[in-house]
């Protein structure tokens, strides 16, 4: 297939010939577009008006075949040089959700394949939710793949949500998820029969956030060397551990768990951009996975951002802040999504044009062995180091990724993810008056910080414009 090859340390050449099927990965059978059902739409469907405004179409397909599970070959260590071999097989039938430009001339040739997140026991497009504006304005195609069993089989999964539409789906367990994900890519790159994209491709990127990133670490280290289907990976908010080969969700493989603090292997043949937040380091201890940049690996660390958030361009009250699902503190308000959009752009340029993105500074730690990690903070409680959001450089609040907690326990059988939501504490009026003598002074400083992060490549200009507009219309300094 097409592949970006390293030339020296930094350059790549995109092979423009048609993609060749991976000999190691079967091509599944696609059916669809799927329609009907109790709800008359796909689970997680976009609003038709939003699709029409963006000039996009959405289609859902089922794909099926026989998937392999994998077992380890040899001893796995934290260096990420992991070998695996097929060890079993099972039939499956799952879904992919496809969004692409309606006008072929607006397609940029890049397909973003997202490993849908199932931590909440239903399929969620955790990365699309943050990348959406960049995907739609730049003409990407996006495919959400239901690779894990919980999304199909749980009490709130697809079959329970709409038994008429999804009753025929079959998922044999997460040990088959890696090959299911590979087969989805195979169907996109070398379709047999139904072509889910239907447009010429330049590159296919894989992305996954949170639990899906845990899976991508194992996929990159152990499965990608076999399958070789993706042209680049965006790993977003991984934790200290990688997902198991045979366990469900985030459970550990038994009797020997996957090595903790695993690095990505350094003999990568495609680019990997690893995006981590301050909250990933406190709640998930991802700082223990730090590794040096290479010709095909870069890491971005976002100071002030949490694993999950309710984003604002700047914090001011009123309006009241969001306390999430009954959290003790207002949840993190950092515009985490702006960095993720820039990361998608950076990975695309890396893969297609050989433009290597920057390596961010590390978030400063005072005690890396503490649980949670002890982060060096300024006089306002905001983290030092890392990617410098304007909201930290010109602060109106303490915005951090520290572990939040539930104010009240969740209902029986329910889940509460407050520990992932970080916190936001607005400054008092007197503190704001001390920091910013007038509105113009605040806006000027904030705009300079926006210009810096855009110039560094960690934000894109459209997000910079939105942040500048929010500052101009704010009451800070008035």
* 3-state secondary structure at position 361: coil
Q: What is the pLDDT of residues 101-153, one digit of tens each?
A: 999 999 999 999 999 999 999 999 999 999 999 999 999 999 999 999 999 99
Which is it for strands 29-31 and 11-14: parallel, antiparallel or unpaired?
unpaired
* 3-state secondary structure at position 205: strand
Mean pLDDT of the chain: 93
The secondary structure of residue 15, as a DSSP letter, is -
Q: What is the pLDDT of residues 25-58, one digit of tens each?
A: 999 999 999 999 999 999 999 999 999 999 999 9
Residue 14 is inside which H or E element, if any? strand 11-14
Per-residue pLDDT, 408: 79
Per-residue pLDDT, 367: 87
* 3-state secondary structure at position 26: coil
Per-residue pLDDT, 83: 97
What phi and psi, each to the nearest 5 degrees, are found at residue 134?
A: -70, -40
Q: What is the pLDDT of residues 230-248, one digit of tens each?
A: 999 999 999 999 999 999 9
User: What's the pLDDT band for 24 if we cut at 50, 70, 90?
Assistant: confident
User: Cβ distance 373 to 285 under 8 Å?
Assistant: yes
The secondary structure of residue 220, as a DSSP letter, is I
Q: Could you tell me the two tokens for 211?
A: 């639990």
- How far is Cα of residue 156 from the mean position of the Cα atoms in its chain? 22
Euclidean distance between the first and final Cα of the chain, in Å? Answer: 58
Q: What is the pLDDT of residues 334-376, one digit of tens each?
A: 999 999 999 999 999 999 999 999 999 999 999 888 888 899 9
* 3-state secondary structure at position 219: helix
The secondary structure of residue 419, as a DSSP letter, is G
> What is the rounded distance in angstroms from the CA atom of residue 290 to the CA atom of residue 288?
6
Q: What are the residues facing 124 on neighbouring strands?
A: 117
Q: What is the pLDDT of residues 425-462, one digit of tens each?
A: 999 999 999 999 999 999 999 999 999 999 999 999 99
> What is the rounded distance in angstroms from the CA atom of residue 459 to the CA atom of residue 196?
31
Per-residue pLDDT, 23: 65
Which segments of 321-413 does DSSP mark as H helices, in order?
336-353, 390-393
Q: What is the pLDDT of residues 253-310, one digit of tens each?
A: 999 999 999 999 999 999 999 999 999 999 999 999 999 999 999 999 999 999 999 9
Per-residue pLDDT, 410: 74
Examine the pLDDT at 4 and tell me if it is beyond 50.
no
Per-residue pLDDT, 29: 97
DSSP of 234-297: EEES--SSPPPSSSSTTPPPSSSPPPTTPPPPTT-SS-EEEEEEHHHHHHS-GGGG----BTTE
Q: Could you tell me the two tokens for 475?
A: 């009451």
Query: E strands along 121-271, which residues?
Result: 141-145, 203-209, 232-236
Mean predicted confidence (pLDDT) in 156-164: 97
The percent of residues in the chain predicted with pLDDT above 70, rounded, is 95
Query: E strands along 35-124, which residues?
Result: 56-73, 83-101, 110-115
Per-residue pLDDT, 407: 87
Q: What are the residues facing 358 on neighbouring strands?
A: none
Q: What is the pLDDT of residues 398-415, one digit of tens each?
A: 999 999 999 877 777 667
- pTM of the model as a whole: 0.94
> What is the rounded distance in angstroms from the CA atom of residue 384 to the CA atom of residue 392?
9
> What is the rounded distance in angstroms from the CA atom of residue 267 to the CA atom of residue 6?
11
* 3-state secondary structure at position 77: coil
Per-residue pLDDT, 409: 79
> What is the rounded distance in angstroms from the CA atom of residue 211 to the CA atom of residue 209?
6
Examine the pLDDT at 11 and tell me if it is beyond 70.
no
Per-residue pLDDT, 16: 33
User: What's the pLDDT band for 22 if we cut at 50, 70, 90?
Assistant: low
Which is it for strands 4-7 and 11-14: parallel, antiparallel or unpaired?
antiparallel
Is there a cis peptide before residue 392, judged by omega within 30 degrees of 0? no
Per-residue pLDDT, 370: 85
């Amino acid at each position: 297939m097409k592949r970006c090859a390293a030339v020296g340390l930094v350059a790549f050449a995109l092979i423009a010939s048609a993609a060749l099927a991976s000999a190691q990965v079967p091509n599944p059978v696609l059916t669809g577009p799927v329609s009907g059902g109790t709800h008359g739409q796909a689970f997680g469907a976009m609003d038709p008006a939003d699709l029409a405004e963006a000039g996009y179409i959405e289609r859902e397909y089922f794909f099926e075949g026989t998937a392999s599970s994998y077992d380890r070959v040899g001893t796995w260590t934290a260096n990420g040089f992991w070998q695996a071999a097929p060890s079993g097989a099972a039939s499956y039938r799952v879904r992919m959700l496809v969004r692409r430009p309606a006008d072929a001339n607006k397609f940029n040739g890049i397909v973003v394949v997202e490993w849908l997140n199932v931590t909440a026991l239903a399929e969620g497009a955790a990365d699309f939710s943050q990348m959406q504006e960049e995907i739609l304005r730049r003409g990407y195609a996006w495919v959400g793949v239901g690779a894990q069993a919980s999304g199909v089989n749980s009490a709130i999964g697809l079959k329970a949500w709409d038994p008429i539409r999804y009753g025929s789906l079959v998922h044999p367990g997460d040990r088959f998820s890696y090959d299911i994900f590979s087969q989805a890519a195979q169907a996109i790159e070398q379709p047999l029969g139904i072509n889910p994209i239907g447009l010429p491709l330049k590159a296919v990127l894989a992305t996954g956030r949170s639990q899906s990133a845990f899976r991508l670490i194992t996929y990159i280290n152990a499965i990608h060397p076999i399958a070789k289907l993706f042209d680049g990976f965006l790993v977003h908010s991984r934790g200290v551990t990688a997902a198991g080969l045979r366990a469900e969700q985030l459970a550990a493989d038994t009797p020997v768990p996957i090595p903790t603090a695993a690095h990505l292997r350094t003999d990568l043949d495609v680019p990997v951009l690893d995006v981590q937040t301050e909250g990933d380091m406190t709640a998930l201890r991802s700082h223990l996975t730090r590794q040096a940049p290479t010709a095909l690996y870069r890491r971005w660390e976002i100071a002030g951002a949490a694993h999950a958030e309710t984003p604002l361009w700047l914090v001011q009250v009123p309006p009241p802040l969001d306390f999430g699902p009954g959290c003790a503190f207002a949840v993190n308000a950092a515009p985490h999504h702006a960095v993720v959009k820039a990361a998608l752009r950076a990975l695309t340029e890396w893969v297609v044009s050989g433009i290597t993105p920057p390596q961010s500074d590390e978030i400063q730690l005072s005690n890396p062995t503490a649980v949670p990690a002890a982060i060096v903070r300024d006089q306002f409680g905001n983290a030092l180091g890392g990617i410098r959001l304007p909201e930290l450089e010109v602060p109106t609040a303490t915005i951090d990724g520290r572990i939040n907690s539930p104010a009240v326990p969740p209902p029986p059988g329910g889940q509460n993810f407050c520990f992932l939501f970080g916190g936001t504490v607005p400054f008092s009026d007197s503190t704001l008056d001390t920091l910013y003598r007038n509105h113009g002074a605040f806006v000027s400083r904030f705009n300079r910080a926006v210009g810096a992060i855009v110039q560094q490549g960690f934000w894109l200009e459209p997000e910079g414009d939105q942040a500048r507009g929010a500052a101009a219309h704010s009451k800070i300094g008035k």
